[in-house]
Structure 1
Amino acid sequence: MKFLDVPTLLQISTAFNLMAALAWLVLAKAFRIAPRASWLMVASHLARVPHLSCGDCMVGWPAAVRLGLTELLLLASIVLLLLALRRMLGSRVRPRHIAWISGAGAVGIVAGMASGSAIAPQGVNLLTVAVLAALAVREIWRGVGDRLSTGITVCTALPFAALFVLSLLQASLLILVPGWGERLLANPLPGPWRAALGLMLTVGISLSLIALMIWRLIMRIQHLTHRDPLTGALNRRAFEQALAEAQAQLARGRGFALIMIDIDHFKRVNDAHGHAAGDAALLHCVALWQASLRELDRLGRLGGEEFCVLLPLSSPRDQAAAAMIAERLRARLEASPLRWQSQDLPLTASFGVALPGVGDARGEGVLARADAELYRAKAEGRNRVCVADQPTPGPA
């Protein structure tokens, strides 16, 4: 059939890989979007081009060498692709397992070339690619499985799962079916359906990576929109939105507490050691407090050295639990001075704790009560926790 003409399909695949490499290059150089991952994608696409466009370049070479070099390039392309995928997903685990698997695969291919076998390099590479494709599926599921819907996660992982199945199937045919390898060697070009599947897999994997890139860009925009650029805590607007949402849940029995925080004598740090030390102090405090809070708690920077924690409570009126957490935050900061230019700078903070009242849609009443307790803590000597009285029923 015309549309399954193998040389045409290979030309289309070559053109697609070249255009994809150019697109990733533009993302890396012009737009600076995930530049390291983009450069890895450029290299991954380019590694496929010799195999697709240079079928006659190695005519006359020993079959083992010709096939071995082709399999090494294909393996390199998959490894680069997996490394790019990990960077897009923000994986912090060192890719030692990828290095071991790909290294073992490369050694197996070279050993097959050295032995003169024309079948061994392809079989080793197919098994290695199957394992790497399975790792890619796992990376996607770990990276976005809890942040995207199941359907979107499955669609993103599907091309890698298909690569795993097809690689395993080809390896099984090569090993188990007598004469299968000889038939592949007799024809230097892949069969029409194999060429078509290769093109479809390349396009599908590229679309998955583009989707992950768009997701990463959206997440970055959301982070910049909702986070304080220095400390990474919620900015005032995002915190007020979280407070309004928590206040709306109050009628359903989902209580919370506010902990207002102000770093004591912060101006002295700036005046004595400079604004760089002040920024370091803010980062130090936020890091300590975030480590002491749960994932569902919300820490926001309201301005300057003033912060606030929105603390969901298992019991709506459990003011003692909120006060205990505030005391833990206070004690941890007092016990952990900032290390700045070979000296320890002691830091403390004052805390005000308050529970919300009903009829306060935007949470202004609970903010005011927590703020009043904060000022009482500062007036009583700083470095302490003050707790507001329980709010009376009715509007705050």
Structure 2
Amino acid sequence: MALSEKICPYPAHRMDFIDVPTVLKVSALFNAMAALAWLLLAQLFRIAPRAGQLMAAGHLLRIATQDCGDCMAGWPALLRQAVPEFGQLACMLLLLLALRRMLRNRRHPRDIAWLGGLGALAITAGLASGSGLAPQLAGTASVALLAALAVREVLRGVSRHLTPVVTALTTLPFATLAVVSLAHAAELLLVPGWGDHVLSGALPSPARAVLGFVITASITLSLIALMIWRLVTRIQHLTHRDSLTGALNRRAFEQALAEAQAQLRRGHGFAVAMIDIDHFKRINDEHGHLAGDAALQRCVRIWQAGLREVDRLGRLGGEEFCALLPLDNPANLADAAAVAERLRASLAAEPLHWKGAELRLSASFGVALPVLGDAAGDVGLARADAELYRAKGEGRNRVCVAPDLSGAVAA
């Protein structure tokens, strides 16, 4: 999106059959269509609306500053030089801000602002010096740095979720832009008179025009792929998560339990902890169902904070939950009981404040180890459920643990 045709370092050799004005018009048309597509995604379908708006603005800005060289005919030389450099920098800044939105990176964009500010200051200083070379070097170096930052953003955002091949393909356009920008900076420094050639206003060579368009289109397609990945991730989240609390829904938890049972014979042990919120009906009756929903959300938020990334928390229905707790030692029931006790204590320590009332929340826990040969994990769940009822019968707000049946096989 932010690539000027001028930054390709390679001269044309045998591409005279390509009509450069036509390539530039195709590039402008592509950017106009891309801007319209991003606006439709943002406004009509509400898919990453802020990112879509930023991308649309970047494409339109590119048309105005990079794909419309004839529009600046007759302008003062200083303005003709300043507009492409600042426009290219602004396009890259919009691209980076949109990229962070797509990848749900909530870091403050302070680093982007600093790089953008330094780039703008360097371009301004170059223009003030009267040199034709200095502002071009400043603008090209800024694009290279921002493109490298885009590579880092993509790697941080998707490398843990996508295969190495897909991750490499996604970052390739940004990496190419960084390399080509650095090569152009070297060309400006090493090729005598090249800076003046760029300032002459001559059309780019066919090779430059084509490569500029290809990189622009590749970056746009890469961002669209990231958008589709985000949409698929969102659909998967809705499919596997309880809409109120964000915990796994019953179907997803049962699938995770079956997978854990399949790993049990290979020595990958786990425990299950059945959880029931104490006196939940009383909360609904005395304070209303909205208070009950808030209580469920508070419980899950506290429990998720106390669980490891490998642990799984599912909502089985109503106020009943279950935690799947992988163990380093398949027979180490004490570790699982300690996790359950930590979850119990953290919930009891944090009351829910609801419309001026302080609602004390607590839960009862039943913990058990699974048994071999129980494909669906029903035996382990039943044993944990029996301990849960024992905890409720003994006064609630406590953890009860089933006897260790290590090595037992389901009948």
Same-fold status (TM-score > 0.5):
yes
Please say if residues 16 and 206 of structure 2, whose CA atoms lie closer than 8 Å, have aligned partners that are also in contact: no
Could you tell me how far 1:358 is from its partner in structure 2? 1.2
Structure 1: unaligned runs, 5 residues or longer: none
Deviations 1:234-273, CA, capped at 9 Å, x for gaps: 0000000000010111111111100000010111212222
State the partner residue of 2:102.
88
State the partner residue of 2:370.
356
User: Once structures 1 and 2 are overlaid, which stretch shifts more, 46-55 or 379-388?
Assistant: 46-55
CA separation in 2, counterparts of 1:187 and 1:110?
20
State the partner residue of 1:247.
261
State the partner residue of 1:153.
167
The SS at the match of 1:259 is strand
CA separation in 2, counterparts of 1:357 and 1:3?
73
Instruction: Choose which of 201, 212, 233 in structure 2 pairs with 1:198.
Output: 212
CA separation in 2, counterparts of 1:21 and 1:82?
16
Change (3 A) 1:63 1:117: farther
1:146-295 counterparts in 2 under 5 A?
A: 146-295=160-309
The SS at the match of 2:38 is helix
State the partner residue of 2:4.
none
Instruction: Choose which of 11, 36, 40 in structure 1 pairs with 2:25.
Output: 11
Instruction: Choose which of 129, 136, 152 in structure 2 pairs with 1:138.
Output: 152
Whether 2:141 is the aligned partner of 1:127: answer yes
User: Once structures 1 and 2 are overlaid, which stretch shifts more, 336-345 or 81-90?
Assistant: 336-345
Could you tell me how far 1:55 is from its partner in structure 2? 1.8
1:393 partner amino acid: A
Instruction: Choose which of 311, 315, 319 in structure 1 pairs with 2:333.
Output: 319
State the partner residue of 1:371.
385
State the partner residue of 2:311.
297
State the partner residue of 1:395.
410
The SS at the match of 2:70 is coil
2:337 partner amino acid: A
CA separation in 2, counterparts of 1:196 and 1:329?
60
1:377 partner amino acid: A
CA separation in 2, counterparts of 1:186 and 1:80?
28
Percent identity of equivalent pairs: 65
Please say if residues 299 and 309 of structure 1, whose CA atoms lie closer than 8 Å, have aligned partners that are also in contact: yes
CA separation in 2, counterparts of 1:121 and 1:341?
60
2:70 partner amino acid: D
Could you tell me how far 1:175 is from its partner in structure 2? 2.7
The SS at the match of 1:393 is coil
CA separation in 1, counterparts of 2:70 and 2:158?
42
Please say if residues 81 and 199 of structure 2, whose CA atoms lie closer than 8 Å, have aligned partners that are also in contact: no
Could you tell me how far 1:67 is from its partner in structure 2? 1.4
1:306 partner amino acid: E
2:309 partner amino acid: E
Deviations 1:204-233, CA, capped at 9 Å, x for gaps: 101110111111111001000000111111
Could you tell me how far 1:192 is from its partner in structure 2? 1.9
Please say if residues 66 and 84 of structure 2, whose CA atoms lie closer than 8 Å, have aligned partners that are also in contact: no
Could you tell me how far 1:393 is from its partner in structure 2? 2.0
User: Once structures 1 and 2 are overlaid, which stretch shifts more, 224-233 or 28-37?
Assistant: 28-37
Please say if residues 65 and 113 of structure 1, whose CA atoms lie closer than 8 Å, have aligned partners that are also in contact: no
Could you tell me how far 1:59 is from its partner in structure 2? 2.0
Structure 2: unaligned runs, 5 residues or longer: 1-14
CA separation in 1, counterparts of 2:117 and 2:81?
18
The SS at the match of 1:280 is helix
1:394 partner amino acid: V
The SS at the match of 2:72 is coil
